[in-house]
Structure 1
Amino acid sequence: MPPARLDGDGTEDDPGPRSARDWAVDVLCVVVSLLIGAFTLVVSPIDDPFTPIWTISVVIGVLASLSLLARRELAVTLTLVLGVLSSVFMTAGGATVIALFTTAVHRRAKPVVLLTALAIASTLLQYKTQSPGDDSIAAYWIAVIIDSLLVVLAVGWGMAVRARRQLVLSLAERARRAETEQELRVGQARMRERERIAREMHDALAHRLSLLSMHAGALEFRPDLPAEELGRVAGVIRATAHQSLVDLREVIYLLRETDGGGDLPLTRVTLDDLTTLVEETRQTGTTVLFQARVEAAEETPASLCGNVYRVMQEGLTNARKHAPAATVHVELSGGPESGLTLELRNPLLAGPQAAKVPGAGYGLAGLTERVTLAGGRLEHGRTVSDDYRVRVWLPWPSE
C-alpha cells in the first residue's frame, strides 16, 4: 500500500478515497482518544460527576475524539482548535496529541513547530486552571514536564514517520526515473544502430552500384563495341553485381540478432584489399595512382582496416562521380606510433562527364561520423592548387 500523501511536498498525487486500513487506523485513534479522556476524568479533581463542568468535559472529550476522523484533511486547523480546548478541558488532551502527531506526519516543519509550542503552552495553562490534585509547585511542574514530553515524543514520532515516507516516495521516484532513462537509452541505442546500418549500406553498396552505373552507361553510349570488348564489360558488370549481392548479404547480417545463431561471417578487410579496390576503380577508366607506406601493415587491426577501406571506397566513388576524367592520387602512410593517414586528391578539371549517378550527398557526412566515432579527424575541400582533397587521420587502436 502506498504511503499517505505528504502535503506541501508535491511528491505524490491524490491517493483517492480512504482504504479499509485508513478507516481502521482512524477508528483506533478515536478509541485511544476516548480512553485517554476517560482516564483524565478518573484522575481529575472533580469529585461530583454530575456537575455541569463534568458533563461539559465528557461532551468535549467525545466530540474531540470523533473529530479525529477528519485529522488528515484538517490536520493544522484541528490541532489548533483541540490545542485551545485542551487548555481548559483535560478530556481533549489525548485528541490533541494524536492530531499533533498527524500534523507532524502530513505537514512541513514550520506549522508543526508552532503547534507544538501551542500544545506546551496549553499544558502550562491547563494545570493552572485544573490542579493535578496536589497544589504544590513541584507537582505542577512534574505534570507539565510529563505532558510536554508526551507532546514532544508524539511530534518526534510523527516526523520520523514522515521522513520514512519521504524516503519511500523518493526511492519510488528514482525507480520511475531509472526506468524512463533506461527506455530512453534503449531508444537511443536503436537509433544509433539504425544509423550504423544505414552507413554500412551506403558505404558497401554505393561503390558497387556506381561501378555498375558506369559500365552500363558505357554500353548505352557505345553499343558498337567489338564483341571482345563487349564481353569484357559484361563480365565486369556481372562480377560487380555478384560482389554487390555479397555486400548486401553482409549488411543484412548486421540486422540479425548476433547471439551465436548467425551462419554468415562478416568479411575481414585487410590493407591488401585496398589494391583490389584500386583495380576495380581503374577498370571503370579512372586513373588511380596509389602509394602505401605503412609500418607493420600485417599487424593492422581489423577495425582500422575496415575504416580505411570504407573511407577510400567512398573517396574513389565521389571522384568517379564528380571528376571521372581526373587522375586520383591516393596516399596511405603511418604506423602503430603515429596512426594512419589517408589522403585522396584529384584536380577539379572540366572534362567529359560520365553517366549521371544519383546521390543523396550523405557520403562525406557518413564518413565524418565514422571517423569521429573511431577517434580520428577528417578534412575535405578545395586546395590552393585547385584540387579537391580528402584527408583522414585514424588512430592505431591499442591492444
Structure 2
Amino acid sequence: MTVGQSTPYPARQERRWLLPSALAEQLDPDPARPGGRPRRTARDWCVDFACFLLAVVIGLLAADTLENEPGLSPAAQAADQLVGALACAAVWLRRRRPVGLAVALVPVSLVSATAGGAVLASLFTLAVHRPFRYVAWTGGAFIALQPLYYRLRPDPELSYAGAVLFGFLLTAAAVGWGMLARSKRQLLVSLRDRARRAETEARLRAEQAQRLAREAIAREMHDVLAHRLTLLSVHAGALEFRPDAPREEVARAAGVIRESAHEALQDLREIIGVLRTGDSDDAGRPQPTLAALDELVTESREAGMKVTLAGRIAEPAAVPASVGRTAYRIAQEALTNARKHAPGTDVSVSVTGAPGDGLTVTVRNAPPGRDVPPVPGSGQGLIGLTERATLTGGTLRHGPTADGGFEVRGWLPWG
C-alpha cells in the first residue's frame, strides 16, 4: 500500500450496511447527506425489528398474567394492553428520540405491565446513544419505581422480593448491554481515528523525506555543476577577450572547455539517474572523498588558477566518507567562487585535523588586483554548504579577510 492511498477500514461503502448508521456516519460521513440524519442501514432495520419484536413478546407474556391479578377488571386489562401496544409501537422512534422515549415510558411502566418490554428497549437505546448521566437518571428512576409497582400489582407467581430482584436484573442487563455496545462503538471510532492519524503522519514523513532528498540532490547538483560550468565560463571568456592568443593557449582552453562540458554532462546524467531510480545520493559513480582533493587542485591549476595545497591529512582514507565528502565539497565550492570573483589571484587550500579534534578546511584567496566584472551568482552555494556542514555537526564561516581577500573556513567532527 502506498502513502496517500485510502485504507480499507470496515466502514467503506461495500460494508457500510453491516454497521449501525450512527457509527457508519462517524467513521465515513455520507457526502450526499451533509449535516443531516444518517441514512438507516440494513442492520438498523434488523435491530429495530428485533427490539420491536422483543417488546411485543414481553408484552404478550405480561398480558397472560393480567387475568391472574386480583382486583383487576377487564376494562383495566384492556387499558393496560392498549397502553402496552402504543408503547411497543413507540419503539420505532427510539433512534430519533432516545431520551424523550425513555423518560416518557418510565412512568408508563408504573401503570402498564405490557409496556415493560418497550421500557427495556428504550433503556437499551438510551445507553447506546447517550452518555452515562442520562442512563443513570432515567434508569435510576425506573429502578426506584420497581418496588412501588410490585407493591401495587404483586406478581402472582413470584414473591415480592423475588419480583423486585428480577426487575432489577432485567434493567441492569438492558443497560449493561447498551453500555457495552456504546463502548465498542467508541473503541472502533478511536481506532479509526488513530489509524487515520498514523496514515497522515506516514504521509507527512514521506513528504518530508522527499523534500530532504530533493534538497540534497539540489545541493549536489549545485556543487558539481557550478564547478564545471565555471571552468567553461572562464575559458570561454578568455577566448572571447583574447582572440589573438597563441594557438597553443587556444587549443588548451578548448580542451578544458570540452573536458568540462563532458564532465558536466556526465554529472548531470548521474543526478537525473538518481531522480529516476529513487536511489540515494551514493548512486552512480563513487562520490568524491577527501582523497580526491589532490585531483581537484590539479584540475584547478590546469584551468589557470594559482592554487597551493598548504596543508593536508597524512591518511585521507582514515577520514569518514561523509566527513571527507563534505570537506571536498567545501573546497570545491570555495575554489569555484575564487575563480569567478577573484580570477588570477593566489589561492591556498589547507586541510588539517586529527581524530577527536575534528577536520578543518580553509580556502583563502588574495584580493583581486583589478576590478572584476560581476558574475551571476546568488550565494546559494555557500548557503547549501552551511546546511551540509550543520547536518554533519560542524560549522562553516566565510567572509572577507583584513587584506581584502576572502576566506572560507569549515570545521567538521571527526570521531
TM-score, length-normalised on structure 2?
Answer: 0.86
Alignment of 1:362-373 (within 5 A): 362-373=380-391
Asked if residue 279 in structure 1 is aligned to residue 298 in structure 2, the reply is: yes
**Contact (CA 8 Å) 2:19, 2:41: kept in 1 or not?**
no
- In the other structure, the counterpart of 1:345 is 364
Q: Residue 256 of structure 1: CA displacement?
A: 3.0
Q: Residue 243 of structure 1: CA displacement?
A: 1.8
User: 331-340 or 99-108: which moved more?
Assistant: 331-340
CA distance change for structure 1 residues 235 and 374 in 2, over 3 Å: closer, same or farther? same
Following the alignment from structure 1 to structure 2, what is the Cα–Cα distance between the partners of residues 271 and 196? 19
**Contact (CA 8 Å) 1:295, 1:334: kept in 2 or not?**
no
Query: CA deviation digits over 1:304-337, x for unaligned, max 9?
Result: 3222211111111112222224322221011333
Query: Any idea what SS the aligned residue of 1:333 has?
Result: strand
Asked if residue 392 in structure 1 is aligned to residue 410 in structure 2, the reply is: yes
Following the alignment from structure 1 to structure 2, what is the Cα–Cα distance between the partners of residues 360 and 310? 18
Query: Any idea what SS the aligned residue of 2:343 has?
Result: coil
- In the other structure, the counterpart of 1:357 is 375
**Contact (CA 8 Å) 1:90, 1:126: kept in 2 or not?**
no
Q: Residue 172 of structure 1: CA displacement?
A: 1.5
**Contact (CA 8 Å) 2:20, 2:41: kept in 1 or not?**
no
Which amino acid letter does the alignment assign opposite residue 5 of structure 1?
A: A
Query: Any idea what SS the aligned residue of 1:278 has?
Result: helix
User: 385-394 or 165-174: which moved more?
Assistant: 385-394
Following the alignment from structure 1 to structure 2, what is the Cα–Cα distance between the partners of residues 323 and 218? 15
Structure 2 residues not aligned, in runs of 5+: 1-17, 30-35
Asked if residue 182 in structure 1 is aligned to residue 202 in structure 2, the reply is: yes
Which amino acid letter does the alignment assign opposite residue 130 of structure 1?
A: R
CA distance change for structure 1 residues 188 and 30 in 2, over 3 Å: closer, same or farther? same
Structure 1 residues not aligned, in runs of 5+: none
1:313 to 321, 332, 335: 332
Which amino acid letter does the alignment assign opposite residue 118 of structure 2?
A: A
Following the alignment from structure 2 to structure 1, what is the Cα–Cα distance between the partners of residues 258 and 312? 33
Alignment of 1:1-399 (within 5 A): 1-5=18-22, 13=29, 16-44=38-66, 45-46=68-69, 51-133=74-156, 139-257=159-277, 265-349=284-368, 351-353=370-372, 356-383=374-401, 386-396=404-414
CA distance change for structure 1 residues 190 and 258 in 2, over 3 Å: closer, same or farther? closer
Query: Any idea what SS the aligned residue of 1:340 has?
Result: strand
Query: CA deviation digits over 1:49-82, x for unaligned, max 9?
Result: 8722111111111111111111111111101101
Q: Residue 48 of structure 1: CA displacement?
A: 8.5
Query: Any idea what SS the aligned residue of 2:362 has?
Result: strand
Query: Any idea what SS the aligned residue of 1:332 has?
Result: strand
Query: Any idea what SS the aligned residue of 1:329 has?
Result: strand
**Contact (CA 8 Å) 1:80, 1:115: kept in 2 or not?**
yes
**Contact (CA 8 Å) 1:6, 1:105: kept in 2 or not?**
no
Query: CA deviation digits over 1:278-318, x for unaligned, max 9?
Result: 22223344322222332532333333322221111111111
Following the alignment from structure 1 to structure 2, what is the Cα–Cα distance between the partners of residues 114 and 196? 64
Q: Residue 347 of structure 1: CA displacement?
A: 4.1
Following the alignment from structure 2 to structure 1, what is the Cα–Cα distance between the partners of residues 141 and 58? 20
Q: Residue 350 of structure 1: CA displacement?
A: 5.7
Following the alignment from structure 1 to structure 2, what is the Cα–Cα distance between the partners of residues 119 and 321? 91
Following the alignment from structure 2 to structure 1, what is the Cα–Cα distance between the partners of residues 142 and 40? 28
Following the alignment from structure 2 to structure 1, what is the Cα–Cα distance between the partners of residues 108 and 222? 83
Q: Residue 37 of structure 1: CA displacement?
A: 1.2
Following the alignment from structure 1 to structure 2, what is the Cα–Cα distance between the partners of residues 201 and 121? 81
TM-score, length-normalised on structure 1?
Answer: 0.89
**Contact (CA 8 Å) 2:26, 2:189: kept in 1 or not?**
no
Following the alignment from structure 1 to structure 2, what is the Cα–Cα distance between the partners of residues 4 and 329? 77
Q: Residue 86 of structure 1: CA displacement?
A: 0.4
Following the alignment from structure 2 to structure 1, what is the Cα–Cα distance between the partners of residues 243 and 19? 82
Query: Any idea what SS the aligned residue of 1:330 has?
Result: strand
Q: Residue 140 of structure 1: CA displacement?
A: 2.4
Query: CA deviation digits over 1:75-105, x for unaligned, max 9?
Result: 1110110111001212111111111011111
CA distance change for structure 1 residues 248 and 20 in 2, over 3 Å: closer, same or farther? closer
CA distance change for structure 1 residues 259 and 197 in 2, over 3 Å: closer, same or farther? closer
Which amino acid letter does the alignment assign opposite residue 175 of structure 1?
A: A
**Contact (CA 8 Å) 1:345, 1:387: kept in 2 or not?**
yes
CA distance change for structure 1 residues 10 and 251 in 2, over 3 Å: closer, same or farther? closer
CA distance change for structure 1 residues 4 and 112 in 2, over 3 Å: closer, same or farther? farther
Which amino acid letter does the alignment assign opposite residue 229 of structure 2?
A: L
Q: Residue 10 of structure 1: CA displacement?
A: 7.0
**Contact (CA 8 Å) 1:271, 1:297: kept in 2 or not?**
yes
CA distance change for structure 1 residues 383 and 155 in 2, over 3 Å: closer, same or farther? farther
Computed over aligned residues only, the root mean square deviation of the Cα atoms, in angstroms, reads 2.7
Query: CA deviation digits over 1:181-201, x for unaligned, max 9?
Result: 222222222222222221111
Count of residue correspondences: 389
Following the alignment from structure 1 to structure 2, what is the Cα–Cα distance between the partners of residues 348 and 3? 80
Query: CA deviation digits over 1:14-41, x for unaligned, max 9?
Result: 6722122211211111111111112122
CA distance change for structure 1 residues 329 and 259 in 2, over 3 Å: closer, same or farther? closer
**Contact (CA 8 Å) 1:89, 1:126: kept in 2 or not?**
no
